[in-house]
Amino acid sequence: MSFLDTDRDLARHSYYDATAQRPQALPALASDIDCDVAIVGGGLAGLSAAIELSDRGFDVVLLEARQFGWGASGRNGGQALAGLACEQDTIEAQVGLDEARRVWAMTIEALDLIQQRCVRFQIDCDWRPGYLSLAVNDRKARELLAWQVRMKSLYGHETTWITPQQLPEWIASPRFHSGLHDPLSGHLHPLKYSLGLARGAAQLGVRMFENSAVIALDAAATSGASVRVRTVSGSVRAAHVLLAGNVYLQGVAPMLEPRIMPVGTYIIASKALDGALARSLIPSGSAVCDTNFVLDYFRVATNTTEAGVEHRVLYGGRVSYSTATPINLAASMHKRMAQTFPQLAGTGVEFAWGGFVDISMNRAPDFGRLSDRLPAGSPNGLSNVYYLQGFSGHGLALTGIAGKLVAEAIDGDARRFDTFTRLRHRAFPGGKLLRTPALVAGMAYFRLKDLL
């Protein structure tokens, strides 16, 4: 069974699908059409790019293999955070401090962009501000404090340090030592946000097709000519193409696949909680992550029904680097939730789901042009094909700015986009057959380090 078969099964039990209203499915592409830009992938990156390109006057076609927001964009932990999945010193080492500061500023812009688009397209996605990054022991607390000091000194990023004595005011859990609070980051309902962007793109005139998996790219022999994007029942001829399908491209651009890996991550939603209990767990209403390499992430989510407001804990973690779903997923995740909040030990689980994120070797985002990934001497017919991938589990906000950057590049100003293209990436070791076992072995080492 491929990870795609596993993913289809995991998608069936999502809290987000149960609490969002999907519109009627859009038709599949069934003819041959032309446009300025064809986008492959109807997640947050593709939707963001479609909006930005339409604003710039481009005729855009968006092809989604299943439904808009079906993959990680509509099933993730809902945490919209400043920064990247990698540390800033990874970026500094490659492009220098000045460029790294520009990258950090773009991640803050990404958070602003969420707010702007929610207002513009009237998206009610349950946004709550605030993010807690929590250390589980004294050693990790020292590392987190050093990070806070460095980020304030070099990047001007202001956060509030929370001492062990102050921590009970922020979280009702015995598991954590200390932490920090970031007021700029926050959390939302990712599927409601994705569907709101899809509605906004349609209002702008983007031609959108669901159930239209792309099977091939046919590039012209010369640079600058059009590219044909083919599905089973139609095709799109475009001057520019954006590949925003991440791990779901499945053979469309095989030169990109060794640079990312599908990693499973899993979430449960508790049964509805008493309002007072729910509010006592995380009094600030913030999203929470621990600072372990293999981390847990959680938040209290609210949903308004005819009967009133429901409160649930959404608790995520238990990553799988083998793409195999953990045995007894709901029970094992409930155990982790109860270790963090013993007061929820008797609270049942109503939803358990998961999905796959696209991680890169260094956890930095991988943006570029397909022609840059071809062997030397290859025909340059793919010079106008761009790609966005490698968000590494940190994409809820970053996908938004990524779509804006690629739209700027297609419109003739690639300066900000090329800041990211200069980041160097390596293929995962082991080749097609052994890279997953190699990753599993490597992650076992980091799990062990988390325990020390």
pLDDT in tens, the chain (452 residues): 566 767 777 777 899 999 999 999 999 999 999 999 999 999 999 999 999 999 999 999 999 999 999 999 999 999 999 999 999 999 999 999 999 999 999 999 999 999 999 999 999 999 999 999 999 999 999 999 999 999 999 999 999 999 999 999 999 999 999 999 999 999 999 999 999 999 999 999 999 999 999 999 998 655 556 899 999 999 999 999 999 999 999 889 999 999 999 998 999 999 999 999 999 999 999 999 999 988 999 999 999 888 889 999 999 987 776 667 778 889 999 999 999 999 999 999 999 999 899 999 999 999 999 988 877 666 666 789 999 999 999 999 999 999 999 999 999 999 999 999 999 999 988 656 544 554 444 444 344 445 45
Helix (H) or strand (E) holding 353: strand 349-360
Residue 66's identity, in one-letter code, is R
Greatest Cα-to-Cα distance within the chain, rounded to the nearest angstrom:
66
On whether the CB atoms of residues 278 and 367 are closer than 8 A, the answer is no
Other Cβ atoms closer than 10 A to 257 = 19
Q: How far apart are CA 365 and CA 85, in angstroms?
A: 8
Whole-number pLDDT of residue 139 = 96
Whole-number pLDDT of residue 428 = 87
Q: Which of 72, 65, 34, 25 is nearest to 202 (CA)?
A: 25
Whole-number pLDDT of residue 443 = 44
Whole-number pLDDT of residue 195 = 98
Q: How far apart are CA 300 and CA 303, in angstroms?
A: 10
Q: How far apart are CA 237 and CA 218, in angstroms?
A: 9
Q: What is the 3-state secondary structure (H, E, C) of 226-289?
A: CEEEEECCCEEEEEEEEECCHHHCCCCCCCCHHHEEEEEEEEEEECCECHHHHHHHCCCCCEEE
Instruction: Please name every residue paired with 227 in a beta bridge, in sequence order, or none if there are none.
Output: 219, 238
Whole-number pLDDT of residue 438 = 46
Helix (H) or strand (E) holding 147: helix 138-155
Q: Tell me if the pTM is above 0.85.
A: yes
For the chain, the 3-state helix, strand and coil shares in percent, each to the nearest 5, are: 40, 25, 35
Beta strands per DSSP E along 124-234: 128-135, 160-162, 178-187, 207-209, 214-219, 227-231
On whether the CB atoms of residues 35 and 61 are closer than 8 A, the answer is yes
Q: How far apart are CA 12 and CA 351, in angstroms?
A: 10
Q: How far apart are CA 234 and CA 281, in angstroms?
A: 51
Tokens 């071809």 found at: 374
Whole-number pLDDT of residue 220 = 64
